[in-house]
């Protein structure tokens, strides 16, 4: 672990949640954060999440943050706490079916594509947010509790801020419509832009590189 970077991140959180992104790290590297008390970790590939979950302690809350293929839903569901990258009704319906089968309720976040300049990114269009939430909230084994978004790939801090403020605006609108008790999580901010995301109201940052390098 990089203690100086970890302390920087911790002191910036002000109540927001740290999600440690463990992709491509060794189990030993991941455990160094577990030993500091971190319990929320994320992987972006199904196989990696499954292997890691079986190798590491049971009290870790595993987050899935990558593009989820429909044929991987069954294998990750028993070990995942939250799927942060829900981006279609079809995927939601498959998760519902598999979750019902194993009698589990799983947290999910809807992933939005806010940075219009980054083209080949997945995610929902903000215009379809209410319609999407209305549909997914009908599914009994999904607990749709917020949104995930990525900042744009640019050094232009003002542009990054504009995108995160769009995310915050969407989050506020969803809280207004569905209630603050149901809509709790605004997952925005990574190594390069977590401070900006936090200043725009992010409630969860997903950080990998900065914590390990």
Binding residues (CB under 6 A) for ligand PLP: these are: 21, 23, 44, 65, 190-192, 206-210
Q: Which residue's Cβ has the minimum distance to ligand PLP? A: 208
Q: Cβ of residue 70: shortest distance to ligand PLP, in angstroms?
A: 19
> What angle (nearest 5°) sits at the alpha carbon of residue 201, between those of residues 131 and 127?
20
Q: Cβ of residue 193: shortest distance to ligand PLP, in angstroms?
A: 9
Q: At what angle do helices 157-178 and 129-136 cross, to 10 degrees?
A: 50
Q: What is the token pair recorded at 92?
A: 């939601």
**CB closer to ligand PLP out of 67 and 159:** 67
**CB closer to ligand PLP out of 75 and 191:** 191
Q: Cβ of residue 128: shortest distance to ligand PLP, in angstroms?
A: 20
**CB closer to ligand PLP out of 126 and 151:** 151
Those residues whose C-beta lies under 8 Å from the C-beta of residue 192, and which sit 6 or more positions away, are 151, 210
**CB closer to ligand PLP out of 141 and 207:** 207
Q: Cβ of residue 18: shortest distance to ligand PLP, in angstroms?
A: 11
185, 189, 187: which is closest to 174 by C-alpha? Answer: 185
Strands (E), the chain: 17-21, 40-43, 61-64, 82-86, 106-112, 142-149, 185-188, 204-207
């Amino acid at each position: 672990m990089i203690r100086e970077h970890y302390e920087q991140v911790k002191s910036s959180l002000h109540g927001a949640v740290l999600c440690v992104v463990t992709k491509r790290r060794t189990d030993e590297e991941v455990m160094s954060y577990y030993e500091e008390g971190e319990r929320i970790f994320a992987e972006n590939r199904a196989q990696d999440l499954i292997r890691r979950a079986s190798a590491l302690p049971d009290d870790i809350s595993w987050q899935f943050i990558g593009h989820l293929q429909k044929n991987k839903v069954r294998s990750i569901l028993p070990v995942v706490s939250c799927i942060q990258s829900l981006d279609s009704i079809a995927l939601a319906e498959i998760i519902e079916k598999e979750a019902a089968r194993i009698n589990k309720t799983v947290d999910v976040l809807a992933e939005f594509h806010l940075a219009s300049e980054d083209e080949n990114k997945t995610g929902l269009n903000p215009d379809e947010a209410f319609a999407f939430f209305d549909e997914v909230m009908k599914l009994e084994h999904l607990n749709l509790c917020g949104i995930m978004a990525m900042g744009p790939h640019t050094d232009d801090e003002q542009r990054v801020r504009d995108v995160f403020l769009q995310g915050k605006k969407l989050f506020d609108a969803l809280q207004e419509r569905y209630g603050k008790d149901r809509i709790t999580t605004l997952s925005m901010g990574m190594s390069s832009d977590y401070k900006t995301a936090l200043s725009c109201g992010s409630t969860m940052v997903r950080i990998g590189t900065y914590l390990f390098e």
